[in-house]
Amino acid sequence: MTFELTKEYLEQIQTAIEASNEAWLRTEMEELFPADISGILNELEYEQAHYLLSLLDKSVGAEILANLDPTERANLLKIFPSTEIAPFINQMDSDDAVDLLNEQPIQVREEVIGLLEDREQARFILDLLHYEDGVAGSLMQKELIRINVNLTVNACIEEIRQQAEDVENVYAVYVVDDVGKLLGLVSLKKIVLARKNTKIADIYDEDVVFVETYRPVAEVAEVMQKYDLDSVPVVNVQQRLLGRITIDDVVDVITEQAEEDIQAISGLSGEVEEYDSVWKRSKIQLPWLIAGAVGSLMAATVINGFQSELGKIAALAAFIPIIGSTGGNVGIQTSSLILQSLTDTSGLSMTMAKRLLRTLLVAIINGLVVGLIAGIYTFIIGEPRLFFVVATSLLAVVLLASFMGTVTPLLLNRIGINPAVASGPFITTANDLIGIGVYFLIAQWLLAEV
């Protein structure tokens, strides 16, 4: 049964914490998954969360901390002394431990590493800390099972038993030579079915997909998605096995990238969270809002320049909203498809000319249909003389918006700027301005006799 945190249950937790009811809290927490407890901690005051964590087993607490939002976790751990953080780090996978420690001040980080009882864990962490964010090395964990190619199956099984104590999930058994170079992998099924004196060299698979430590995490995600991998080994330039990246970490990367793209498309100029301060959220949202306001004022200036046409036929004003919204919608739809194609590197990409041709054909069909529907509406409201003005304007707006939605992301991507930013208020505002200008120019031309 899925756990759902209610206001009443949260109040019970808070009351028990205030009363220091350790027995009740321990009993309740034992019934929950670590991810559920993480959700509870997000709703508690930091002191309350500190108390609750102190009651739990360190392995459970480590998993809870690994599930917490990084910003909330960093704020929570500010009230933890290094002596309390170290036991949790001892229980974490090395990649999660490094993520947590990178959020701490340098002094705390060094104190915690010095306090670790598991010195192998400390060595793993030190190995990972020097990798920059955004590369495979920063995402990998050191815990894995590796066996020498010269072992027999019987010796291999004993080696797996020893190494598996520190490995949470065994996705594969990696095969290395005497200097640690990755040669391939062998499945647990083959090991179980083989005779005990069989050499690993006779049963391992040489066709293994791997990534180097310097590869961008986006490439790692693409590799794992393309080959449907649960984990991928990480090697250095000499192809020596250093660690592995598991699917849960890649899902986190994909989710984070999707959130960043959504924020960029929404016109947010930086990373923003729901619980950020009012000033921070305002500062991040303001740039594009100001740009949008400036664009709208420019559109108002264009409308003001065609007062004579509005004076002749007031009904022209009734179609301004559909001109602006249609251009914005088409621009966003087109640019979203282009962004999707830019992130898909698994196949051959189209040439610019082919993209534009396909966009043109789609825009003509869409523009004709939308223009015809709006044109028919002019008869319904008793303004048949606006049929060609509205229909032609919408066709032109759809064509222009499709062109901008295609070209702008491609050009930004070509010059090294994140193309996602082109899909938000920039395209919407630009299409409003161009669309309204085109609308009134067509009206001026077609209604010149009026």
Which H helix or E strand runs over 185? Answer: strand 182-186
What is the C-alpha to C-alpha distance for residues 230 and 248, in angstroms, rounded to an integer? 9
What is the C-alpha to C-alpha distance for residues 323 and 379, in angstroms, rounded to an integer? 18
CATH for 7-132 (3.90.550.10, 3.90.320.10, 3.30.360.10, 1.25.60.10) = 1.25.60.10
| Res 420: pLDDT | 63
DSSP secondary structure, 337-377, as one string: HHHHHHH--SSPPPPHHHHHHHHHHHHHHHHHHHHHHHHHH
H-type alpha helices, 200-319: 217-226, 247-265, 278-304, 307-312
* Domain boundaries for CATH 1.25.60.10 within the chain: 7-132
**pTM to 2 decimal places:** 0.63
| Res 48: pLDDT | 94
| Res 424: pLDDT | 62
Which residues share a beta bridge with 212? 235
| Res 292: pLDDT | 65
| Res 117: pLDDT | 87
Query: In 3-state terms, what secondary structure has residue 61?
Result: helix
* Domain boundaries for CATH 1.10.357.20 within the chain: 278-446
Residue 231 has φ and ψ, to the nearest 5°, of -155, 160
Structure tokens at 144: 């894995």
| Res 375: pLDDT | 87
What is the CATH T-level fold of the domain 278-446, as seen in this structure? Tetracycline Repressor; domain 2 (1.10.357)
Can you tell me which residue has the tokens 């938000």? 424
Cα–Cα nearest to 343, from 170, 237, 218? 218
CA distances from 195 to 112, 155, 288 (A): 46, 11, 67
Q: Residues of the chain whose pLDDT is less than 70? A: 1, 257-278, 280-289, 291-292, 295-296, 299, 307-312, 340, 342-352, 417-426, 448-450
* Domain boundaries for CATH 3.10.580.10 within the chain: 146-255
Q: Residue 222's Cα: distance from chain center in Å? A: 13
Cβ-in-10-Å burial (0-12, 13-18, 19+) of 281 comes to middle
- Percent of the chain scored above 90 by pLDDT? 38
CATH for 146-255 (3.40.50.970, 3.10.580.10, 1.10.3720.10, 3.90.550.10) = 3.10.580.10
- Neighbouring CB atoms inside 10 A of 290's CB total 11
What is the C-alpha to C-alpha distance for residues 128 and 139, in angstroms, rounded to an integer? 9
